[in-house]
């Protein structure tokens, strides 16, 4: 059975360096996800590109209509010069236009996602944060992003199921801007701000979209009920019980041992979300997954250790190797059993934060190391490397 895995790597949205290095968040998730999906958005057939082995040469000639993710990551930031020197942000909604959007369908924490929620930073951050464009590496043969083509693909070739934490929610929000005004989002957090943050969010084709008469709908597709993109909040990819069982099997702790603290987190078993992914009624084609940000000693308190790297992060990284291997094996087996050979799972590199991210207004040209230890941000590179190695152990088509 061919493997359903792919590894999507991209450039750091602020530094322009590959995601194998530490990320520094820019404060505008919309810009970041535009780049994170670059290998998809610009490929000739608008499908996520397959795994590109890190040892492959980056000096080969461009592949017509293709842009392998690591080749995309070999580029750099270029000034766009879209705005005059006198352009200033006067309202937080100005961020929509600065980003080149007509609007955003999703409404949860709207201006936080756009990075325009802090008025004291308007003058220095905007529109400068939007006045750069990513120039991919030389091996990429690409075309400009076309939202109508992507919407068409999500309908006719299958949608996306996004699995991850708040970073992935940023991605979902960004897509709601990129695809606007052809999509609507649920649930409506404006009408009911008390909806739980872990409830599934969806993008559906808007019935009034001018694309509707031109689309060839798959059998059983419902404009009202078939999502183009869905996001499910899953912080650590496996369920609490699955992680506890795995830890106990590997390390055999004492009877009074507790792996988790009282810190809140959201989790689901792959049995649940893979079943959703392969369900015919949902019309998903690709599941995009990432994790790392919640693998901290604050949550996994049982692995805290003052003698270990990062006060216990070293212990978590060791367990992370086993957990990602278990996850990859389980998800592959569930996909095989479903008979859905055409489905693919993309493991996307995780973005970390930086303690000075809010004070940075231009893309960096080199990595600025952390000056303090915040959660596990200092080691996100290692989490990404582990996840890449674990998923790439599986045979590729």
Q: Are strands 201-205 and 229-233 parallel, antiparallel or unpaired?
A: antiparallel
> In angstroms, how far apart are the furthest CA atoms of the chain?
66
Q: What is the pLDDT of residues 273-326, one digit of tens each?
A: 999 999 989 999 999 999 999 999 999 999 999 888 889 999 999 999 999 999
Residue 211, pLDDT score = 98
| 322 within some domain | yes
| 192 within some domain | yes
Residue 64, pLDDT score = 54
Handedness of CA 132, 108, 179, 271 (dihedral sign): positive
| 242 within some domain | yes
Q: Select from 233, 332, 351 the least CA-distant residue to 292.
A: 351
| 292 within some domain | yes
| 367 within some domain | yes
The domain in which residue 378 lies consists of 5-392
Q: How many domains does the chain have?
A: 1
Q: What residue ranges of the chain have pLDDT lower than 50?
A: 1-60, 394-397
Residue 103, pLDDT score = 96
Q: What is the pLDDT of residues 196-222, one digit of tens each?
A: 778 899 999 999 999 999 999 999 999
| 207 within some domain | yes
Residue 61, pLDDT score = 54
Distance CA 194, CA 67 (A): 42
Residue 105, pLDDT score = 97
Residue 96, pLDDT score = 95
Distance CA 161, CA 273 (A): 9
| 397 within some domain | no
**Contact (Cβ atoms closer than 8 angstroms) between residue 87 and residue 53:** no
| 363 within some domain | yes
Q: Select from 142, 150, 172 the least CA-distant residue to 39.
A: 142
| Token pair belonging to 26 | 């820019």
- Strand-pairing partners, residue 163, are 232, 289
């Amino acid at each position: 059975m061919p493997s359903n895995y792919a590894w999507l790597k991209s450039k750091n949205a602020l530094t322009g360096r590959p995601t194998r290095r530490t990320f520094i968040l820019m404060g505008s998730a919309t810009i970041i996800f535009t780049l994170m999906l670059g290998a998809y958005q610009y490929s000739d057939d608008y499908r996520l590109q397959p795994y590109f082995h890190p040892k492959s040469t980056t000096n080969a000639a461009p592949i017509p209509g293709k842009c392998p993710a690591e080749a995309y990551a070999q580029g750099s930031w270029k000034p766009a010069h879209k705005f005059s020197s006198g352009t200033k942000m006067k309202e937080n909604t100005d961020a929509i236009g600065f980003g080149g959007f007509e609007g955003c369908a999703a409404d949860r924490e709207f201006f936080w996602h756009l990075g325009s929620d802090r008025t004291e930073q308007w003058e220095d951050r905007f529109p400068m944060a939007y006045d750069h464009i990513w120039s991919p590496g030389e091996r990429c043969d690409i075309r400009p992003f076309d939202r109508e083509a992507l919407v068409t693909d999500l309908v006719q070739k299958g949608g996306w199921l996004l699995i991850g934490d708040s970073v992935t929610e940023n991605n979902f929000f960004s897509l709601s801007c990129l695809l606007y005004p052809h999509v609507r989002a649920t649930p409506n957090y404006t009408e009911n701000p008390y909806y739980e943050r872990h409830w599934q969010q969806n993008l559906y084709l808007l019935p009034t979209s001018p694309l509707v008469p031109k689309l060839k709908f798959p059998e059983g597709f419902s404009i009202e009920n078939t999502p183009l993109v869905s996001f499910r909040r899953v912080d650590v990819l496996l369920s609490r019980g699955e992680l506890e069982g795995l830890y106990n099997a590997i390390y055999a702790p004492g009877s009074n041992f507790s792996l988790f603290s009282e810190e809140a987190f959201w989790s689901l078993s792959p049995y649940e979300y893979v079943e959703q992914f392969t369900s015919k009624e949902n019309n998903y084609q690709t599941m995009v997954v990432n994790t790392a940000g919640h693998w901290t000693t604050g949550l996994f308190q049982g692995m805290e250790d003052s003698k270990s790297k990062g006060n216990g992060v070293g212990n978590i990284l060791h367990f992370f190797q086993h957990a990602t291997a278990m996850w990859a094996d389980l998800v592959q087996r569930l996909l095989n059993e479903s008979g859905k050979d055409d489905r693919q799972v993309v493991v996307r590199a995780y973005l970390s934060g930086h303690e000075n991210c809010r004070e940075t207004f231009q893309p960096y040209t080199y990595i600025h190391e952390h000056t303090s230890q915040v959660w596990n941000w200092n080691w996100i590179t290692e989490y990404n490397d582990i996840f890449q190695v674990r998923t790439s152990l599986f045979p590729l088509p």
